[in-house]
Amino acid sequence: MPRLSQTMQTWLECPDPPPTITLAEILTVAGESSFGVLLAILSFPSALPVPAPGYSTPFGILIVILAGQWLWGSPTPWLPLRLLRTEVKWETWIGILKAGIPWLHRLERLTSPRWLGVTRRGHPVLAVLVVLMGLSMILPIPGTNTVPALGVFLIGVGLIEADGVVCVLGSLVAVVGGILSLSILSALWFGGTSLMEWVKGIWP
């Protein structure tokens, strides 16, 4: 399997780019037989230091669907046709790739096949973490997207490179992302509850 950066580079070398690219086309180039590639591709925009807005929710939904299939033991991924028809502007997608590929090159230089037990037998734990992070990405709330997406991205890269260390690192990032998301949701909930109680107290 080619490295993820090589797969992404094919888009940058497109001689006659279209105005938009569908998610189905993105996943076809990525290789739909690999859960790791799909998870990395779908989490990539939201995991960048300056994430692209608008993609965390739909891509998070797809991540949850894929991780659920992975947890169930499906040999190949499947995605709904309606979601596969989601369009991304070509300029936006290329901008994401140009911003992220240098970071991916640095990460790939540090990866190698190791701790193979994690990638071969740790799927249930990894899949559950990815499901939870996908759910966090779905929320249209600032702070609940980037760190969870980074956790999913690292797990995806770890699967592609058969690198259990990267998968464990991604799992730790996912745990941090989960704690951060829960903290934000708790603050919003209790803050909202207090505001409602205050309004009820002054309302005649």
Residue-wise pLDDT tens digits, 135-156? 988 887 776 788 999 999 999 9
List the structure tokens of 186. 């708790």
For strands 87-89 and 20-22, give the pairing.
Answer: antiparallel
Looking at the DSSP bridge assignments, the partners of residue 20 are: 89
**32-56: pLDDT as tens digits:** 557 888 898 889 888 877 666 677 8
Domain that holds residue 160: 4-202
Amino acid (1-letter code) at residue 194: S
DSSP-assigned letter for residue 113: S
Average pLDDT over all residues of the chain: 81
The total number of structural domains in the chain stands at 1
On the question of pLDDT at 172 being above 90, the answer is yes
Neighbours of 199 (CB within 10 A): 9
The CA R_g of the chain, rounded to the nearest whole Å, is: 18
